[in-house]
Chain A
Amino acid sequence: MTAILLLFSTEWIQAQEEVTRTLDAIEKKYSGLRDYVVDVRVHFDMESLNAPDMQAKLYYKAPDKMKVESKKIFFFPKEGGYFNPSLFKKKDFEVNLLEHLTYEGRKSVKLKLIPKEANRYHQIFIVTIDVERNLIREIEISPSDVRKIKTTIEYGTFDHVDLPTHIELQLDMSPSDPNEIKDFPPFGQRAKRITGKVEITYSNYKVNSDLGDEIFKDSEFYQPK
């Protein structure tokens, strides 16, 4: 009995060590990334949002400054829409190793990250990481009946930094008010789930161009008051 307990605890310890190594490796990989500027193109394939492709310029400065510059109206996914390497710092999450797997022919691990600080949506993250190149390949956010966002990331190398070239988000979310009904019974429609796909393409990266903080002073996206 003691041997079994010892065996499990050893395995758990090993798993935790592997998780730590993986996340530390990613953190180290992007420690040299100070900022980037990139052209973003967003394509929507959603029933409830009929929109043409939108374009903007995205500015990022480590650790968490982001700004979008667009001459026109621009919708940008809040989660998984832009690459922020410091999003998954180990100190911010309780991390569990779910499985080892092969992802596109490469050794990968699947981790479950539970934020230590509770957030509005009680989100949890299931992240697939290519451990050979230390790249986050997939993120599943809050996989449940209420809300599910699955992000798939492809990378390119720009100034020796691996940055996303293509992010695909698959959305399956409940409406803001599930009890909202449009029209009268029996013809009334309950507010529908928001489903579909958003594809974000990144191009023309300028990496580590030493962006000043003043660029991020007026972040222009609309927020409810």
Chain B
Amino acid sequence: MKVFWFETYKIFSRWRTYIGFGFIALIVILTEVVMKLSANEILYRMMRSFQKDFLIFGNILNGWFVTAFIMNSLHIHIPFLIALVAGDIVSSEATSGTVRLLLIRPPSRSKIISAKYLTTLLYTTGLVIFLALMCIILGLLLFGSGDLIMNYQTQLRIVFIPEAQIPVRMLLAFSAAAWSMTVVASLAFLLSTLAENSIGPIIGTMALVIVFFVLGNFPFDFFRAINPYLFTTYMIFWQRFFDHPIPWLEITRSALILGLHSIGLFLIAFIAYNRKDIKS
């Protein structure tokens, strides 16, 4: 535990760790202010297919809707912020030379790499929790509360979530989002273990995530066939918590696949680190 607490102290003593939190705060504030100013346009686009035939009452553009809206871009900006720290946590020791003091201590390499990984997961979860709190608190303050309407564009339907159910669903959704982001963290962590500098792992992680996302969305047979093998396909499974009924089987399957990815990536990092010759 001591090693874990020291790793945590080290991470949170660096200013670059706070870039992620600052960036999230900025994104959330900007988005919510703009949404406040553009409320009518947003609602019009969303309700277009229904307002011809229905009168719509109530606070549709509420804090929960805004939170869900911002969450939809979570898989675009959060991976970079995670890679910034996860891609640096192991390789920075080599860059700075502190690895020569660190690895001659009694704690085994297994303990050290595990502590670093746990710290990475702590940071990842913290980032997602911060996003959740910012979105929800600011959203409820600016837009108030109400029921949640989710517009599933690709399925051409709207799902209506009663207000009473939203807090639990949000908790599950953000937990799932954190779970999916651990794959990105694990990937960056692995690259950090293999590299001697931080730039490579950070860029490498982002490149892989972007390429996988792009490949997974190409509308051609070949790419549709490889879709199930790309972890990015499952990364937005948190959205399913806003469906009705909640597709538990699909969610469980996605969570398992992502979990296996995280474990596999960490195991590779674990083995590589234990066998690595420290020449720097």
User: A contacts B directly in the complex (CB < 8 Å)?
Assistant: yes
Number of A residues near B (Cβ < 8 Å) is 41
Smallest beta-carbon distance A141→chain B, Å? 10
A73 in contact with B49 (CB, 8 Å): no
A68-95 interface with B by 8 A CB criterion:
68, 70-79, 81
B57 in contact with A56 (CB, 8 Å): yes
With A72-B58, A78-B55, A176-B48 already in contact, the answer to whether A47 and B157 are too (CB < 8 A) is yes
Closest to A77 in B: B54
Roughly how many angstroms separate A223 CA and B50 CA in the complex, as a whole number? 11
Smallest beta-carbon distance A222→chain B, Å? 5
Interface residues on B, range: 20 to 34
Smallest beta-carbon distance A46→chain B, Å? 9
Closest to B243 in A: A50
B56 in contact with A182 (CB, 8 Å): no
Is residue B250 within 8 Å, beta carbon to beta carbon, of the partner chain?
Answer: no
Is residue A171 within 8 Å, beta carbon to beta carbon, of the partner chain?
Answer: yes
Smallest beta-carbon distance A119→chain B, Å? 13
Set of chain A residues within 8 Å of B50, measured between Cβ atoms: 49, 75, 194
- Segment at the interface with B among A6-14, A105-113, A185-193, A209-217: A185-193
CB < 8 Å A-B pair total: 106
B147-189 interface with A by 8 A CB criterion:
147, 149, 153-154, 156-160, 162-163
Chain A, residues 203-225, CB within 8 Å of chain B (1/0): the string is 00000000000000000111111
Set of chain B residues within 8 Å of A194, measured between Cβ atoms: 49-50, 53
Closest to A188 in B: B219
Set of chain A residues within 8 Å of B195, measured between Cβ atoms: none
A43-59 interface with B by 8 A CB criterion:
47-52, 56
Is residue B40 within 8 Å, beta carbon to beta carbon, of the partner chain?
Answer: yes
A-B contacts, 13 listed (Cβ < 8 Å): A47-B157, A48-B157, A49-B157, A50-B243, A68-B57, A73-B147, A75-B55, A76-B54, A76-B56, A175-B156, A187-B219, A222-B56, A224-B51
Chain B positions within 8 Å of A, measured between CB atoms, are 40, 43-44, 47-60, 146-147, 149, 153-154, 156-160, 162-163, 219, 224, 243-244
Chain A positions within 8 Å of B, measured between CB atoms, are 47-52, 56, 68, 70-79, 81, 149, 171, 173, 175-177, 182-187, 189, 191-192, 194, 220-225
